[in-house]
Amino acid sequence: MDGVIQYTKRRIDAVIGRTPEQTDQGSNAGIHLQLWVLVFLVVFPIAVALIVSTKQQGIVTSLGDLAPGTYALENYREAIVDYNFGRFMWNSLVMSTVVVAGKLVISVCAAMAIVYYRVPYKDLVFLFILFTLLLPVPVRFIPLYQLINDFGWGNSLLAITVPYLASATAVFILRQHFLSIPTSIVETAKLDGVGPIQFMVYVLIPMSKGVLVGVSIIMFVYAWNQYLWPLVIINSEANQVAQVGLQLLQGDVQGGQLSWSLVMAGSMLTLIPPLVLMIIFRKPLLETFTIQQK
Amino acid sequence: MTTIKLQNLRKEFDDVVAVNGIDLTVEDGEFLVIVGPSGCGKSTTLRLLAGLEQATDGRIGMNGRDVTDTEPKNRNVAMVFQNYALYPHMTGRRNITFGMKSAGSFTDEDIDRRVEEAAETLDITDLLDRKPQAMSGGERQRIALGRAIVRDPDAFLMDEPLSNLDAKLRIQMRAELTRLHAELQTTTIYVTHDQTEAMTLGERVVVMNDGQIMQVDSPQVLYDFPENRFVAEFIGDPAMNMIDVAVEHGTAVHDAFELPLPSDGGEDGSTETSLGARQSKEQQAAVLGIRPEDFYLAREYPDLGDETFTATVDVTEPLGDSLLIHCSVGDAAFKIQAEPRTSLQTGDEITVTYDPERLHLFDPETGEAVYHSANAPASPERVEQAPRG
């Protein structure tokens, strides 16, 4: 089918006297147009949010309301200082960092065991790990809530980090990567008497740097965006995370004073940490996704 | 000082038998090559030796010690892999020293001294501070060899170490491996699928097929006196011609020609007897084996012998140093390696003669060699090959 299309294209080109280079330019322009449309679709809501965060009230009713306002500084100051949004951001950062670190340690160990060790019913164990993907956290809320309270962890950092420490996705990605490392390298280490910890620290981790960074970014964004569970389990404002904290920025809803501009300012703030990480580590992140495609 | 002894070694993967009960003794300081087609079990044998695979049955002895169930690291063997197996994030030096440092049984000064020595031997001193990605294939394999050497292992196990190199480099490294072995005198077991490599490197060559050893001999003996049809056809390029014949009163009879078999062959008795047994019966089917280079064009070698027959040229392949003629006589097709620059056309009739000293007969059913027209060497080499103990 592809061949037919290519052939037809060439025939048309030949008839109207176009060189292949010109055709390429033409299709490139088409691709660029598509990309611009897609980028616009993704960026538009964020751009609106950014604009709204600079306005006094932030109610958008007409196109004219999409001109940037002059209350930017005031709004961000109010969110951070008056509503203590900095505190929420900090809580989120701590939670995300702990979750990422814990996930990394557990996933690396699990993937290493699954790939390199002779464990009875290894494939079954791995399948079971994948099976947990079918049970998202919200499904487990009620028993989890009970358990966390029984442990006396309610309202603490433990409550919002420990339930997220195991990650089937990370184990899966790391397993695929470890499998792509030539077995002869592992066997050389075995023959040389390199111990498992040494192997992990000096061989496996340095050889997986890119994937580990990529996986960390994905996990960080995931943890950073947690909303429902912290909302359920954390009930003191001082321990709350940014995504839930956004809700508190709404202000006096009962009094009809829903301050969208403050909410949008908070939203912009919560975008910053994942964005910075993605910009810094965009290369390993893309590499991780290429590996998944293999 | 290392001798390695395999007894009835067997390895099964699920329902596949990779190594099917092999017995082999590797002498101290020997360079032994295991050769065979892919899937013949040669690499598995090597991995069993290294301890990377667990034997299903049988024993592996090193210096009289049973190491069948010993951990790889406690066997003191070094392995060189086809893909070099270098750690990509480490420099050449770190690649060489990493295993030693991890094992913890060497002092730092000792390691430095050994690395310097090995680097000098292999001429890799200026590669030590480079990472593998900045090295060529040959350089990487040298580093891998260096890593094997520094530990001063009891045995080197090499799994097709030259297969990833280009042809020119392979020949160069081949010579280097021979030199290295002459210098170090370490027992080496080398696995390859390339029969040229096997012949040039091995002091003795093990030919394997279907998980079994077909023959163990020095390269020349393997070439001249193959014990069975598999070895005859596997060793030698172009491969030995195999022609179905009938043996009658000491003559190989084919529809189109008759070749008398010199009866002085096989004076050690065994082949003589079996051929004699065949002769006594009226007619016996056999497979006649003649190497392409043992056929000659009668007009080029008029004084070689009176026994000639006529064949038809099918295809000619000029190889530069010789001309490979595919020809047929009756229903038999065979190849002749003739002098180069001979002008022959498809369909030409040629008169073919042969070296009567280089005829082989094989049993059509079992494939066992039943006759070699030359005397099997009663050389010390051959006596030595009898397994000890």
Interface pTM (ipTM) of the complex?
Answer: 0.79
Work out the pLDDT band at A237, boundaries 50, 70, 90: confident
Contacts of B158 in chain A (CB under 8 A): none
What is the spatial distance between Cα B210 and Cα B21, in angstroms, rounded to a whole number? 11
Alpha-carbon span B35 to B37, nearest angstrom = 7
* Gap from B152 CA to chain A (nearest CA, Å): 12
Fold (topology level) of B4-229: Rossmann fold (3.40.50)
Instruction: Please report the pLDDT score of residue B273 as a whole number.
Output: 44
Q: Is the pLDDT of residue B232 over 90?
A: yes
> What pLDDT was estimated at residue B105?
77
What's the pLDDT at B291?
A: 94
Distance, in Å, from the CA atom of B274 to the CA atom of B266, rounded to the nearest integer, reads: 10
Inter-chain contact B81–A188, Cβ cutoff 8 Å?
yes
> Residue A22 belongs to what domain range?
2-74
Same-domain pairing of A110 and A51: no
CATH code, A104: 1.10.3720.10
Contacts of A202 in chain B (CB under 8 A): 98, 102
Q: Is residue B356 pLDDT above 80, yes or no?
A: yes
Q: Are residue A62 and residue A166 in the same domain, yes or no?
A: no
Q: Quick check: A193 contacting B, CB < 8 Å?
A: yes
Choose among B309, B292, B279: nearest CA to B232.
B292
pLDDT in tens, B159-201: 999 998 898 989 999 999 999 999 999 999 999 999 999 999 9
Contact predicate B233/B240, CB 8 Å? yes
Please compute, for residue B341, the number of CA atoms within 13 A of its CA located in the half-sphere on the CB side: 1
CATH 3.90.180.10 for domain B230-384, yes or no, is no
Q: Over 50: is that where the pLDDT of B102 sits?
A: yes
Q: Verify that A129 and A212 share a domain, yes or no.
A: yes
* Count of domains forming chain A: 2
Cβ pairs bridging A and B (under 8 Å): 63
DSSP category for residue A241: -
Using a CB–CB cutoff of 8 Å, tell me whether A203 touches chain B: yes
Domain end marker among A74, A103, A134: A74
Q: How confident is the model at residue A12 (pLDDT cuts 50, 70, 90)?
A: low
Cα B128 to Cα B111: distance, rounded to the nearest angstrom: 14
Same domain? For A7 and A87 the reply is: no
- Check whether A111 has a pLDDT greater than 90: yes
Residue closest to B328 by CA, chosen among B259, B255, B260, B261: B255
Q: Which residues of A touch B100 (CB under 8 A)?
A: 192
Q: What percent of chain B has pLDDT over 70?
A: 91
A264/A225 same-domain check: yes
Task: Decide if A151 touches B, using CB distance below 8 A.
Answer: no
H helical segments located in chain A: 2-16, 20-52, 72-77, 85-116, 122-131, 141-151, 157-161, 168-180, 183-192, 196-198, 205-207, 209-224, 228-233, 242-248, 260-280, 282-293
Question: A227 and chain B: CB distance < 8 Å anywhere?
Answer: no
Final residue in a domain of this structure, among A39, A74, A109: A74
* Residue A82 touches chain B, beta carbons under 8 Å: no
Taking residues A128-146, report their average pLDDT: 88
Is the per-residue pLDDT at A90 higher than 80? yes
Report the pLDDT averaged over residues B234-249: 90
- Are residues A285 and A156 both part of a single domain? yes
Residue of B nearest to A186 (CA): B85
**Mean pLDDT, residues A50-63 taken together:** 80
pLDDT band of residue B389 (cuts 50, 70, 90) is very low
Q: Indicate whether A18 pLDDT > 90.
A: no
> Does the CB of A195 have a partner CB in chain B at under 8 Å?
yes
What's the CA gap between B252 and A100, in Å, rounded?
Answer: 80
Q: Are residues A140 and A236 in the same domain?
A: yes
Chain A residue numbers with beta carbons less than 8 Å from the beta carbon of B44 are none
Q: What is the pLDDT of residue B278?
A: 47
pLDDT level of residue A10 (50, 70, 90 thresholds): low
The domain spans of chain B are 4-229, 230-384
Return the number of other C-beta atoms located less than 10 Å from residue A72's C-beta. 17
Judged against a pLDDT cut of 50, whether residue A185 lies above it is answered with yes
d(CA B309, CA B259): 9
**Which among A73, A66, A83, A61 has a CA at the least distance from the CA of A263?**
A83
| CA dist., res. B130 & res. B146, Å (int) | 14
Residue B353 has pLDDT above 70, yes or no: yes
**B313 CA: distance to closest CA in chain A (Å):** 44
B72 contacts in chain A (CB < 8 Å): 187, 190-191
Chain A residue numbers touching B79 (CB-CB < 8 A): 187-188, 191
What tokens appear for B261 in the block? Answer: 């078999």
Angle, alpha carbons B147-B151-B154 (nearest 5°): 115
Question: Mean pLDDT over all residues of chain A?
Answer: 85
Q: If you measure CA to CA, which chain B residue comes closest to A191?
A: B73
pLDDT for the residue numbered A258: 75
Q: Is A185 in Cβ contact with B87 (below 8 Å)?
A: yes
Give the mean model confidence (pLDDT) for residues B131-139.
Answer: 92
Number of Cβ atoms within 10 Å of the Cβ of B83: 18
Instruction: Give the other-Cβ count within 10 Å of B343's Cβ.
Output: 7
Which residue among A182, A194, A207 places its CB closest to the CB of B85? A182
Question: Is it the case that residue B380 has pLDDT exceeding 60?
Answer: no
* Residue B268 confidence (pLDDT): 43
Range from A51-60, A236-245, B51-60, B350-359 carrying the lowest mean pLDDT: A51-60
Residues facing B329 on adjacent strands: B332
State which of A24, A45, A74 marks the end of a domain: A74
| Chain segment B280-311, per-residue pLDDT in tens | 455 788 999 999 999 988 888 877 767 788 89
Identify which of A182, A185, A190 has the shortest CB distance to residue B72: A190
CA distance A103 to A278: 19
- pLDDT attached to residue A115: 93
* A187 contacts chain B (CB < 8 A): yes
SS (H, E, C) chain B: CCCEEEEEEEEEECCEEEEEEEEEEECCCCEEEEECCCCCCHHHHHHHHHCCCCCCEEEEEECCEECCCCCHHHCCEEEECCCCCCCCCCCHHHHHHHHHHHHCCCCHHHHHHHHHHHHHHHCCHHHCCCCHHHCCHHHHHHHHHHHHHHCCCCEEEEECCCCCCCHHHHHHHHHHHHHHHHHHCCEEEEEECCHHHHHHHCCEEEEEECCEEEEEECHHHHHHCCCEHHHHHHCCCCCCEEEEEEEECCEEECCCCEEECCCCCCCCCHHHHHHHHHHHCCCEEEEEEECHHHEEECCCCCCCCCCCEEEEEEEEEECCCCEEEEEEECCEEEEEEECCCCCCCCCCEEEEEECHHHCEEECCCCCEEEEECCCCCCCHHHHHCCCCC
A180: distance to nearest CA of chain B, Å? 13
Same-domain check for residues A224 and A96: yes
The pair phi, psi for residue B12, each rounded to 5°, is -115, 135
pLDDT, position A69: 78
**pLDDT tens for residues A252-294?**
566 666 788 888 899 999 999 999 999 999 888 887 776 554 4
Residue B24 has a pLDDT of 95
- Of residues B71 and A15, the one with the higher pLDDT is B71
Q: What is the pLDDT of residues A34-56, one digit of tens each?
A: 999 999 999 999 998 898 888 88
A90 & A58 share domain: no
Classify residue A86 by burial, with Cβ atoms within 10 Å: 0-12, 13-18, 19+: middle
Q: Which of 259-318 (B) contact A at CB < 8 A?
A: none
A92 and A54 together in one domain: no
B contact test, residue of A177, A183, A185, A188 with most B CBs within 10 A: A188
Q: What is the DSSP string of A62-74?
A: SGGGGS--S-HHH
Query: Which whole number is the average pLDDT over B219-224?
Result: 94
| Shortest distance, CA B75 to any CA of chain A (angstroms) | 8
Q: Are residues A68 and A110 in the same domain?
A: no
Question: Would the pLDDT of A201 be above 90?
Answer: yes
Quick one: pLDDT at residue B361? Answer: 92
Q: What was the pLDDT predicted at B221?
A: 94
Percentage of residues of chain B with pLDDT beyond 90: 61
Same structural domain, A256 and A136: yes
- Position B377 scores a pLDDT of 62
Mean predicted confidence (pLDDT) in B211-230: 94
CB contact under 8 Å between A188 and B83, yes or no, is no
